Amino acid sequence: MNIQENISLKPLNTFGFDKNAKFFTNADTVENLKNALTWASQNKQEVLILGGGSNVLLTRDFEGLVVKIELKGIELIREDEKHIWVKVGAGEVWHDWVIYAIENNWAGIENLSLIPGTVGASPMQNIGAYGVEIKDVFESLEALNRNTLELETFSHEDCSFGYRESVFKQKFKDKYTICSVTFRLNKTPQFHVDYGAIQDVLKEKGVKELSIKAVSDAVIEIRNSKLPNPKEIGNAGSFFKNPTISQSQFTELQSSFPEIPGYPNEQGIKVAAGWLIEQAGWKGKRFGEVGVHAKQALVLVNYGNGDGAEIKILSEKVRQSVKEKFGIELQPEVNFI
């Protein structure tokens, strides 16, 4: 284990904010992770676990130990006539894992193509897109208990998955570090192409026979057309969750805003946060070196020399504006540090 001092985190967060870690180390084995946590405990240092850095907003230097998770590996565990179980290291890049699965004709995660971040963050966030969420393909995960330094296995039920939520963002926040995730994928695809513009893109591309690669390619094309590339402009993808409101509240809003998009779910009606933000007048607005993206109002951006604290202030103004106009409280999807 190599503990470094005063390391810039600029290349390790997709917003591209130049904040420093007082101490820094990589963890490419579970043993190295244990050693890092032991060192932090012995030296009374706060710990920040960092994956792909695509879901964090760094508003300050981190006066503790940043541990970059580099646990790798893709292992076929077992299979039967219908399914394949694959164990994937938490440090694997999510999109690389999706492509690997597609190349092996393992179906189930093609709709989740091009989502930034690492495999370890996927169940924590219960990432989802175009009608599919991690909970749909999740079997189990292994996580290191930060107090006992023992590996524990969490089942689907243990994770308490919700919309962009899991037990690791609530009850067990900062108490466990995910080391690997086991997925149950399908040998026969069950296509989800009714969400968003997937069918339109497939038609435009002249796809006559559906395949998981065709669906993945369509999703990639849609995401590239709507979302800015973090390598070109700093961002963390969708900054806010899509809020769910009651049917009665939605009906009331429809009387004033007939165009408001709503999607029924188990809790009520899910409303598009990007639409709310755009209607509140924020889309494309720039404030110095930060702003709201011109093509997707759900994305806050760093134009190059912005600061995380500026994004935080902007997000609070957006939330207040949406609340005043629609009576809806937006919740950040991004973790503030």
Q: Catalogue the E-assigned strands of the chain.
A: 4-8, 20-27, 47-50, 56-57, 62-69, 74-79, 83-89, 128-129, 132-133, 138-145, 151-155, 176-186, 234-235, 244-245, 262-264, 269-271, 286-287, 290-292, 300-302, 335-336
Angle, nearest 10°, between helix axes 212-226 and 94-103?
Answer: 150
Question: 256 catalytic, yes or no?
Answer: no
- The single-letter code of the amino acid at 258 is P
**Of 146, 164, 184, 319, catalytic:** 164
Q: Which residue has the tokens 């504006």?
A: 321
Question: 164 catalytic, yes or no?
Answer: yes
Which residues, 6+ apart, have CB-to-CB distance to 59 below 8 Å? 19, 307, 308, 309, 311, 312, 336, 337
- The single-letter code of the amino acid at 168 is F
**Of 133, 238, 310, 319, catalytic:** 238
Question: 8 catalytic, yes or no?
Answer: no
Which residues, 6+ apart, have CB-to-CB distance to 309 below 8 Å? 59, 60
- The single-letter code of the amino acid at 161 is F
Radius of gyration, alpha carbons of the chain = 20
DSSP 3-state of 249? helix
Give the C-alpha separation, 253 to 258, whole Å: 8
Task: Locate all alpha helices (DSSP H) within the chain, ordered by sequence.
Answer: 30-42, 94-103, 121-125, 198-204, 212-226, 247-256, 273-279, 308-326
The catalytic site residues sit at 164, 238, 333
